[in-house]
Amino acid sequence: MASNEDLVLRLYDVGAIKCGEFKLSSGLITPLYFDLRVIISYPEILVEVSDLLYEASKLVSKPFKSICGVPYTALPIATLISAKHKIPMLLRRREAKEYGTKKAIEGHFEPGDICLVIEDVVTSGLSVYETILSLQSVGVHVSDAVVLLERSQGATNNLKMLGVNLHSIFTLPGMMEVLVKHGKLEKAFTDRVLDFLINNQTTISIKQSANVSNGTHCMKTRDLMERAKLAKHEVSRKIFEVMYQKQTNLCLSADVTNSKELLHLAESIGPYICVLKTHVDIIEDFDQSTCRNLLNIAHKHNFVLFEDRKFADIGHTVSKQFTGGMFRISEWADVINAHPLPGPGIIKELKNANKRSGCLLIGEMSTNGNLITPAYTKATLKMAEENDDFVIGFISTSRISHDPHFLHFTPGVSLDCKGDGKGQQYLTPSEVVSKRGADILIVGRGITLAHDPVAAAKVYAQEGFSGYLAAVDV
Ligand code: 5BU
């Protein structure tokens, strides 16, 4: 078999390695791009890549029963390995969600089987992880993945954090060394690519901000798993993880007035949201079974529950409102919120009543003519920082903290309306997420009153999350 160096040169010669300016799926512009799809036109290269990945598969931590290529480039690679080494293959359908009835995974498997995932190139590892999630959804486990090229932008660490070992044949710097050695690339160009790699890590997300003098940090990238690691409360960690796993930053504000409608919205829109927000005090037929059912749906579709109670009284009263009455909010809400207006006592008493929930402080409001001033917002931030074992972030209309462990939820979001004539003011998803730095967009009537609420939720989720990925740090 030809050496690995020969393979790199042949990949270059057939146009699988390209220099220029290319947009990655994350939106980043890279000076060096790999298009391994072309190797299907060169069977010898395809066989060689498959052989190398098969060799790498011998390094895995747990024996596997089947292999699964990440669609699409890795499919022929996985097929060759499967046929040559008599290893059963599974196939992940990318379009399964859209067509509802189709199975996410084709092929025969038993729950508990271990599958090896195969991929051509990884940047953050997200495509590999999506395939793993599909396999997991049918009970198939993945402990390892093999990849031809690790672009050295964080995939190995990202997947490690998710319990998956990534084995790569080449790293990007290693490949470039070979190309420089053989006169295919200029050293100055590869230095530029190395700079690009260093500056575009998908996991290193903290750097000193412009206002380093006062000790605050700002996020360089908005990497969710990195933020999950930095979370100071179990609930914020969970929210970051859910956002990452489901690739959504949409919070549905389910402001309906009966349990049936609420549960129906939760069930149908659950797959597209990370948080479901309620106003339980507007539900006419509320009882504890509403909560039990809601919790089951939240568990099934992997989202968290936020009761938008906006506590605003003295500590003694809010602790009773939180834990007692007919709503017993502390027993089921993962997230609650409070106005900082009464002073730190409100936070102390809510925390004493139940630390399991995370609290958002209302630092800004979306309504026309509200009385919140910049000084009030600043004082809210201070209060949050002093209680960051319980305060997980803010309701706000802009980013008020650059500390990446705080979450920013922004209400007043609509794609086609400027206001509701009752004081509410709307901005579009891209305005709140890309320009104002929201992490999570709160959408109520834009979805619940839509002709097709599920279709509307998909649009808001798509707009919101692509805005999140494309957002510059603010
Ligand atoms: P809408 O239907 O998307 O306008 O609903 C917005 C929701 O967010 C609604 O439940 C409000 O109570 C909530 N909200 C808000 O709109 N503006 C604010 O400043 C705060 C909460 Br705080």
pLDDT in tens, 232-283: 999 999 999 999 888 899 999 999 999 999 999 999 999 999 999 999 999 9
Determine the pLDDT at residue 134: 83
Rounded distance between C-alpha atoms, residue 274 and residue 239, angstroms:
7
Q: Are residues 123 and 149 in the same domain?
A: yes
Task: Give the ligand 1 atom nearest the CA of 366.
Answer: 19
Give yes or no: 308 in active site: yes
> Is 266 in contact with 295 (CB distance < 8 Å)?
no
Q: Are residues 203 and 238 in the same domain?
A: no
Q: To test ligand 1's pocket by mutation, which of 250, 252, 253, 339 has the most ligand atoms within 8 angstroms of CB?
A: 253
Q: Using CA positions, which residue lies closest to atom 17 of ligand 1?
A: 366
pTM of the model: 0.60
Residue 417 falls within a domain, yes or no? yes
Q: Are residues 105 and 230 in the same domain?
A: no
Q: Are residues 160 and 237 in the same domain?
A: no
Could you tell me which residue, 468 or 312, shows the higher pLDDT? 312
Residue 216 falls within a domain, yes or no? no
Ligand 1 mean position, distance from CA 439 (Å): 16
Residue 323 falls within a domain, yes or no? yes
Residue 344 falls within a domain, yes or no? yes
Q: Are residues 99 and 242 in the same domain?
A: no
Residue 309 Cα distances to 93, 199, 364, angstroms = 41, 42, 16
Q: How confident is the model at residue 434 (pLDDT cuts 50, 70, 90)?
A: confident
Q: Are residues 56 and 187 in the same domain?
A: yes
Cβ within 8 Å of residue 260, ≥6 positions away = none
Paired sense of beta strands 206-208 and 217-219, if any: antiparallel
Ligand 1 mean position, distance from CA 327 (Å): 20
Ligand 1 mean position, distance from CA 315 (Å): 24
pLDDT higher than threshold 50 for residue 204: no
Q: To test ligand 1's pocket by mutation, which of 308, 370, 398, 448 has the most ligand atoms within 8 angstroms of CB?
A: 308
Give yes or no: 313 in active site: yes
> Is 69 in contact with 147 (CB distance < 8 Å)?
no
Ligand 1 mean position, distance from CA 356 (Å): 24
Q: Which of 35, 51, 313, 473 is catalytic?
A: 313
Matching residue, tokens 């009761």: 307
Q: Are residues 421 and 295 in the same domain?
A: yes
Domain end among 186, 211, 236: 211
Residue 125 falls within a domain, yes or no? yes
Residue 87 falls within a domain, yes or no? yes
pLDDT higher than threshold 80 for residue 473: no
Residue 217 falls within a domain, yes or no? no
Domain end among 162, 184, 211: 211
Q: To test ligand 1's pocket by mutation, which of 424, 443, 445, 448 has the most ligand atoms within 8 angstroms of CB?
A: 424
Q: Using CA positions, which residue lies closest to atom 12 of ligand 1?
A: 308
Task: Give me the phi and psi of 301, to 5 degrees please.
Answer: -100, 5
Q: List helix spans (H) across 277-418.
A: 288-301, 315-323, 345-353, 374-386
Q: Which of 120, 308, 334, 439 is catalytic?
A: 308
Q: Three-class SS string for 370-384?
A: CCCCHHHHHHHHHHH
* CATH number of the domain encompassing residue 378: 3.20.20.70
Determine which of 91-95, 159-163, 226-230, 314-318 has the lowest per-residue pLDDT on average. Answer: 159-163
* CATH number of the domain encompassing residue 108: 3.40.50.2020
Task: Give the ligand 1 atom nearest the CA of 445.
Answer: 2
Tell which residue, 54, 65, 77, has the closest CA to residue 1: 54
As given in the structure block, the two tokens for residue 257 are 């007035």
Q: Over the stretch 354-369, which tens digit does the pLDDT of each residue have?
A: 999 999 999 999 999 9
Residue 218 falls within a domain, yes or no? no
Q: Are residues 276 and 200 in the same domain?
A: no
Query: Average pLDDT for residues 376-401, to the nearest whole number?
Result: 97
Q: Are residues 175 and 124 in the same domain?
A: yes
Query: Average pLDDT for residues 452-467, to the nearest whole number?
Result: 92
Could you tell me which residue, 30 or 75, shows the higher pLDDT? 75
Rounded distance between C-alpha atoms, residue 381 and residue 365, angstroms:
14
Q: List helix spans (H) across 103-166.
A: 126-137, 155-161
Q: How confident is the model at residue 339 (pLDDT cuts 50, 70, 90)?
A: very high
Q: Are residues 171 and 141 in the same domain?
A: yes
Task: Give the ligand 1 atom nearest the CA of 443.
Answer: 3
Q: Are residues 206 and 228 in the same domain?
A: no
Determine the pLDDT at residue 102: 62
* Residue 444 is labelled as binding a ligand: yes
Ligand 1 mean position, distance from CA 420 (Å): 11
Rounded distance between C-alpha atoms, residue 337 and residue 395, angstroms:
8
Q: Using CA positions, which residue lies closest to atom 14 of ligand 1?
A: 411
Q: Over the stretch 98-148, which tens digit does the pLDDT of each residue have?
A: 444 567 899 999 888 999 999 999 988 888 988 987 887 777 889 999 999
Q: Are residues 190 and 322 in the same domain?
A: no
Pocket (CB within 6 angstroms of ligand 1): 253, 255, 279, 308, 362, 365-367, 395, 411-412, 424, 442-446
Rounded distance between C-alpha atoms, residue 265 and residue 452, angstroms:
11
Domain end among 211, 245, 267: 211
Give yes or no: 310 in active site: yes
Instruction: For CA atoms 128, 129, 134, 139, give the dihedral sign.
Output: positive
Determine the pLDDT at residue 209: 24
How many distinct structural domains can be found in the chain?
2
Ligand 1 mean position, distance from CA 448 (Å): 13
Task: Give the ligand 1 atom nearest the CA of 279.
Answer: 10
Buried b / exposed e over 195-210, threshold 16 CB at 10 Å, is ebbeebbbbbbbeebe
Tell me how crowded residue 137 is: count the other CB atoms within 10 A of its CB: 11
Structural domain including 156 reads 4-211
